Amino acid sequence: MTDVILEKVGKTYPNGYHAIPSVDLSIEEGEFIVLVGPSGCGKSTLLRMVAGLESISTGELRIRGERMNDKEPAERDIAMVFQNYALYPHMTVYDNMAYGLKNRGMPKAQIAEKVSDVATMLGLTELLQRKPRQLSGGQRQRVAMGRAMVRDPKVFLFDEPLSNLDAKLRVQMRVEIRQLQRKLGTTTLYVTHDQVEAMTLADRLVVLNKGKAEQIGTPMDLYNKPATPFVAAFIGSPSMNLINANLTEQGVKISEALTLPLSHAFRGGIVWGIRPEHLEVSDEQNADFALRIQAVESLGAETLIHGKLETESGHGEPLVVRLSGPHLPDINSLMWLRAPVSHWHLFDANTQQRL
Amino acid sequence: MIENRPWLTFASHATLLIGIALVALPVWMALVASTHPASAFGVGHIPLWFGDAGAETWGTVLFEKAGNGVDTPVWFMMLNSLIMALGITFGKIAISLLSAYAIVFFRFPFRNLCFWIIFMTLMLPVEVRIVPTYEVVANLDLLNSYTGLTLPLIASATATFLFRQCFLSVPGELVEAARMDGAGPWRFFFDILLPLSRTNIAALFVILFIYGWNQYLWPLLITTDDAYYTLVMSIKRMLSVTDGDIAWNQIMATTLLAMLPPVAVVIGMQKLFVKGLVDSEK
Ligand SMILES: Nc1ncnc2c1ncn2[C@@H]1O[C@H](COP(=O)(O)OP(=O)(O)O)[C@@H](O)[C@H]1O
Ligand SMILES: [Mg+2]
């Protein structure tokens, strides 16, 4: 069953700023949707429109078939986890979690039962009588989630909930959020600028760029078949190598001297892409091109090699290669590489669409 | 400051002791003076140790009449002062809380203009607008009444400004979280905002109570009935007896009594007061 539908939803701020032109999205029940994009692209704006904290300028929002545009946040049956947790500093953990239920007029005994259930699930039972300032960052984060969970909402909304945690805790909470969401089966809309977080959490991803949904799809869809160079560059770490080129009869012409053979009907300017992990080291005979090595990042399990395409003029495009295991090539030496055609991504340079 | 130099410790303690002596000496002398008969002051030297008329002076002043032409007992004037001070304090706090709430959290036309108009009343304390205010109060038939004593002093730009700053520091996410939790304007005000401003309210309470308690000119002007005389204004009246025979012992006792409530408030709320001025929980 479709749970949440955004139909041509757009936002213009009172100061005239057109943050979101129009977004269409339909979310299935129980789905985990991640809105991802660089800072300032309108992720929070979109989420806050769903929450009811910002008005919807154009289009329509429906939750379980009911139009929500003019409903107060509390009437939408949603719960939100904020970036800075937004716990009430003067209330105990228990009261923080109970506050929303109290406002709904739920009987005390029932509130106590719900809060203690959720507290058990999140391991907060010991902390119920503490104030937020007596908690660690991770614990606050958990309380914020607990406050959302006790209300049994139709939809969870998260706005960069992990960005204030240290790296290790972030990974741990990420796993935990995903497990909880699976267990509860609650439809979730999650905002992040971190593509790793996005890839690992999402059933489907929405990549936003300047308020426009560039592509909507599963993490593997986006990884394997990015619709635009923007998505291609955004998904995956390190980013995909993208090089402006021309598609001619001979193939992809990257520079005067370098043309990678390909037969394709399209003619004209393109963006040619290949992921760092898909470039292969080879010997000189079988190589497609050579790389002049400029920097080596050894991470143990993998090695990232940064360099420039070797051309006769010396102004080659920058390129990153990702090799598994440790490698220690010399800086400034040449490395011969093969770029298997099956891993190429081609985009029309004008329309920015995938070919 | 974490410094460990013996002479510095000595010097700072010496300074503090001198300060205490400077503040405490007049109080001590007032206390001593109140225990001597009124005639003891004519002889030319100031007594430094208790006399034997203490019980009599204090008994009279507290329960019979303050003396020097003021015929109401001190406890009664204290009650009037207390009603006025508390009325002003609570009135000011309530009004400023509400106006700051409106200015910070609600969007309405001319919101900023409203704020600046309130702010400009800083330039209009009672003393400046005393004649027109007197006329208004007189026309409303509020002379010689508690309402007349408190109402004109209640509007407060300072407190509004203070609460505005305090409210502005409440994170937007907190307001939104409360909205998601179904808290309407009143619930938000009472459940979230008031508890968060608790220390600021306490600090303001201390300041405003002392302000209210020490009111002199306004009560002097609008009360002509003994039943509404406040303590502070009466002390001045006690000094202006015509025959020149001022009963200093009674005045000293009254003065000491007039100092007690502010001191009690400061000591009682010291902890919250300091907290409200230096830190916030938010
Ligand atoms: N209240 C506002 N008024 C005007 N512009 C805003 C407002 N809030 C956000 N914006 C603008 O809208 C754009 C998207 O903001 P936001 O949704 O917060 O981005 P993010 O993807 O980082 O969460 C930004 O360019 C921001 O400057
Ligand atoms: Mg944001």
A224 and A250 co-located in one domain: no
**Going by CA atoms, what residue is nearest to atom 2 of ligand 1?**
A13
Q: Measure the CA–CA gap between B77 and B106, rounded to whole angstroms.
A: 42
Q: Measure the CA–CA gap between A88 and B191, rounded to whole angstroms.
A: 10
Q: How far is it between the farthest Cα atoms of chain A?
A: 79
Residues A186-237: tens digit of each pLDDT = 999 999 999 899 999 999 999 999 999 999 999 999 999 999 999 999 998 8
Are A276 and A322 in contact by the 8 Å Cβ rule? The answer is yes
Q: Considering its fold, how many domains does chain A have in total?
A: 2
Which phi-psi region, left, alpha or beta, contains residue A64 (left: φ > 0; alpha: ψ -120 to 50)?
Answer: left
Closest-CA distance of chain A to residue B185, Å: 12
Q: Is A43 in the pocket of ligand 1 (CB under 6 A)?
A: yes
Output the DSSP codes for A206-233. Answer: EEEETTEEEEEE-HHHHHHS-SSHHHHH
Closest-CA distance of chain B to residue A181, Å: 20
Testing the interface with B: which of A44, A45, A48, A53 to mutate, by most B Cβ within 10 A? A53
For residue B209, which of B70, B92, B69 has the smallest C-alpha distance? Answer: B92
DSSP character at residue A126: G
Q: What is the dihedral of CA B136, B139, B141, B147, to 10 degrees?
A: -10
Residues B28-71: tens digit of each pLDDT = 888 888 888 776 666 666 777 777 777 777 777 777 776 666 77
Q: Is A143 in the pocket of ligand 1 (CB under 6 A)?
A: no
A245 and A230 co-located in one domain: no
Are A264 and A256 in contact by the 8 Å Cβ rule? The answer is no
What are the distances in angstroms from CA B157 to CA A210, A302, A345, B164, B189?
44, 65, 66, 10, 20
Q: Measure the CA–CA gap between A219 and A225, rounded to whole angstroms.
A: 10
Strand order in the sheet with A78-81: A78-81, A155-159, A187-192, A32-36, A204-209, A212-217
Percent of chain B with pLDDT over 70: 90
User: How large is the ipTM?
Assistant: 0.84
- What are the start-end ranges of the E strands in B93-224? none
Pairing of strands A204-209, A32-36: parallel
Are A137 and A168 in contact by the 8 Å Cβ rule? The answer is no
Please classify residue A61 by burial: count the beta carbons closer than 10 Å to its beta carbon, then call 0-12 exposed, 13-18 middle and 19+ buried: buried
Q: How far is CA A340 from the centre of its chain?
A: 28
Cβ separation of B179 and A79 shorter than 8 Å? no
Query: Residue A354: inside a domain, yes or no?
Result: no
| Range of weakest confidence among A32-36, A170-174, A248-252, B40-44 | B40-44
Closest-CA distance of chain A to residue B172, Å: 9
- Ligand 1 atom with minimal separation from the A43 CA: 21
Q: Which domain holds residue A211?
A: 2-234
Residues A49-66: tens digit of each pLDDT = 999 999 999 999 999 989
A115 and A142 co-located in one domain: yes
Residues of chain A contacting B, Cβ within 8 Å: 51, 53, 72-74, 78-80, 82-91, 99-100, 103-104, 133, 147
A260 and A330 co-located in one domain: yes
Supply the pLDDT for residue B282. 44
Q: In this structure, what token pair is assigned to residue A224?
A: 């394997």
Q: Evaluate the omega torsion of the peptide bond into residue A238 and state whether it is cis, within 30 degrees of 0.
A: yes
Q: Measure the CA–CA gap between A158 and A53, rounded to whole angstroms.
A: 13
Cβ separation of A88 and B187 shorter than 8 Å? no
A158 and A250 co-located in one domain: no
- Smallest Cβ–Cβ distance between A103 and the set B187, B195, B198 belongs to B187
- Smallest Cβ–Cβ distance between A90 and the set B178, B187, B196 belongs to B196
A76 and A165 co-located in one domain: yes
Strand order in the sheet with A302-309: A280-281, A334-338, A289-298, A302-309, A318-324
For residue A8, what is the domain's CATH number?
A: 3.40.50.300
Residues of chain B contacting A, Cβ within 8 Å: 171, 173-174, 176-183, 187, 191-192, 195-196, 198, 281-282
Q: In this structure, what token pair is assigned to residue A172?
A: 């741990």
- Ligand 1 atom with minimal separation from the A191 CA: 23
Query: Residue A353: inside a domain, yes or no?
Result: no
User: At residue A297, does pLDDT exceed 50?
Assistant: yes
Q: Measure the CA–CA gap between A14 and B89, rounded to whole angstroms.
A: 40
Q: How far is it between the farthest Cα atoms of chain B?
A: 77
Angle, to 10 degrees, between the axis of helix B111-120 and the axis of helix B157-168?
140
Q: What share of chain B is helix, strand, coil (3-state, %, to 5)?
A: 70, 0, 25
- Ligand 1 atom with minimal separation from the A208 CA: 21
Query: Residue A118: inside a domain, yes or no?
Result: yes
Contacts of B145 (CB under 8 A, 6+ apart): B228
- Ligand 1 atom with minimal separation from the A42 CA: 17
Q: Kindly state the average pLDDT of the residues B135-163.
A: 87
Q: Measure the CA–CA gap between A211 and A207, rounded to whole angstroms.
A: 10
User: At residue B280, does pLDDT exceed 70?
Assistant: no
Supply the pLDDT for residue A164. 86
A166 and A288 co-located in one domain: no
The span from the first CA to the last CA of chain A, in angstroms, equals 33
Chain A residues whose CB is inside 8 A of the B173 CB are 82-86
Which domain-ending residue is among A214, A234, A254? Answer: A234
Chain A residues whose CB is inside 8 A of the B198 CB are 90
DSSP character at residue B61: I
Cβ separation of B182 and A51 shorter than 8 Å? no
Cβ separation of B177 and A80 shorter than 8 Å? yes
Chain A residues whose CB is inside 8 A of the B174 CB are 86, 88
Q: Is A17 in the pocket of ligand 1 (CB under 6 A)?
A: yes
Which ligand approaches the C-alpha of residue A207 most closely?
Answer: 1
pLDDT-derived band at B126 (thresholds 50, 70, 90) equals confident
A95 and A228 co-located in one domain: yes
**Going by CA atoms, what residue is nearest to atom 3 of ligand 1?**
A13
DSSP character at residue B32: H
pLDDT-derived band at B95 (thresholds 50, 70, 90) equals very high
Q: In this structure, what token pair is assigned to residue B276?
A: 């409200």
Which domain-ending residue is among A234, A256, A278? Answer: A234
Rounded to the nearest angstrom, the distance between the alpha carbon of A24 and the centre of ligand 1 is: 19
A151 and A254 co-located in one domain: no
Supply the pLDDT for residue B43. 65
Q: Is A88 in the pocket of ligand 1 (CB under 6 A)?
A: no
Q: Is A15 in the pocket of ligand 1 (CB under 6 A)?
A: yes
For residue A265, what is the domain's CATH number?
A: 2.40.50.140
Phi, psi for B228 (deg, rounded to 5): -115, 10
pTM comes to 0.82
Residues A237-287: tens digit of each pLDDT = 889 999 999 998 888 888 888 888 888 888 889 999 999 999 999 988 888
Q: Kindly state the average pLDDT of the residues A103-132.
A: 93
Are A289 and A205 in contact by the 8 Å Cβ rule? The answer is no
Which domain-ending residue is among A212, A234, A256? Answer: A234
A136 and A213 co-located in one domain: yes
A16 and A136 co-located in one domain: yes
Angle, to 10 degrees, between the axis of helix A137-149 and the axis of helix A93-103?
20
Domains in chain B and their CATH numbers? 31-41+50-279 (1.10.3720.10)
Closest-CA distance of chain A to residue B227, Å: 44
Query: Residue A163: inside a domain, yes or no?
Result: yes
Q: Measure the CA–CA gap between B226 and A346, rounded to whole angstroms.
A: 96
Rounded to the nearest angstrom, the distance between the alpha carbon of A173 and the centre of ligand 2 is: 19
Q: Measure the CA–CA gap between A201 and A160, rounded to whole angstroms.
A: 13
Supply the pLDDT for residue B148. 85
Q: Measure the CA–CA gap between B125 and A131, rounded to whole angstroms.
A: 42
How much is the mean pLDDT over chain B? 84
Query: Residue A171: inside a domain, yes or no?
Result: yes
Q: How far is CA A176 from the centre of its chain?
A: 17
Rounded to the nearest angstrom, the distance between the alpha carbon of A39 and the centre of ligand 2 is: 7
Supply the pLDDT for residue B124. 83
Phi, psi for A173 (deg, rounded to 5): -70, -35
Query: Residue A295: inside a domain, yes or no?
Result: yes
What are the distances in angstroms from CA A249 to CA A24, A261, A315, A344?
39, 9, 24, 17
Query: Residue A212: inside a domain, yes or no?
Result: yes
A277 and A209 co-located in one domain: no
